[in-house]
Amino acid sequence: MSYLKEYEWELIPKTLPTIRRICPKCGKKTNYINTKKFRVNANKSNLDVWLIYQCDKCKSTYNMTIYKRIKPIDISRYEYEKFLSNDEDLAKKYSFNLDFYSKNKAEAIFDDITYSVEKKKLKQIIVIQTKLL
């Protein structure tokens, strides 16, 4: 008799990707860290939403566009509330969205991310071997 065990492995990021860009204060390319904070600005009947990044050296900020000149009706109320409350899970979601970086023409750095690994046992199967004569 033998056993087959089935597991699911989950990689959980401990840190978020950074971006690399020229800092106007430092005068050179530096890493910008994700602050996990959003900026929402209403301009007449349109909204702008940004995810705020901060220079690792001088703390200068850079706003990466999530929504630009969008009608409030086009954003779900649920997501809008999360922007206003600086929801960390939503910031993480955008941090791992490759389209987000390409739309902003940002150089994302994924090399420095640290992860924890979780192992979940899904099931165990008992295999009974029989000998045929």
Is 65 part of any domain? yes
For each of the chain's 133 residues, which pLDDT tens digit applies?
667 778 888 888 999 999 999 999 999 999 999 999 999 999 889 999 999 999 999 999 999 999 999 999 999 999 999 999 999 999 999 999 999 999 999 999 999 899 999 988 777 666 666 666 5
In a domain, 7, yes or no: no
Q: How many domains does the chain have?
A: 1
Predicted local confidence at residue 4, as pLDDT = 75
* pLDDT, position 126: 64
- Structure tokens given for 42: 């209403």
Answer whether residue 132 is part of any domain: no
Alpha helices by DSSP H, listed for 8-87, are: 77-84
Q: Which domain holds residue 88?
A: 15-116
Domain-embedded: residue 102: yes
In a domain, 2, yes or no: no
Question: Is residue 29, in this structure, part of any structural domain at all?
Answer: yes
Measure the CA–CA gap between 116 and 13, rounded to whole angstroms: 6
According to the model, what pLDDT value does residue 81 have? 96
Asked, for residue 106, whether it belongs to a domain, the answer is: yes
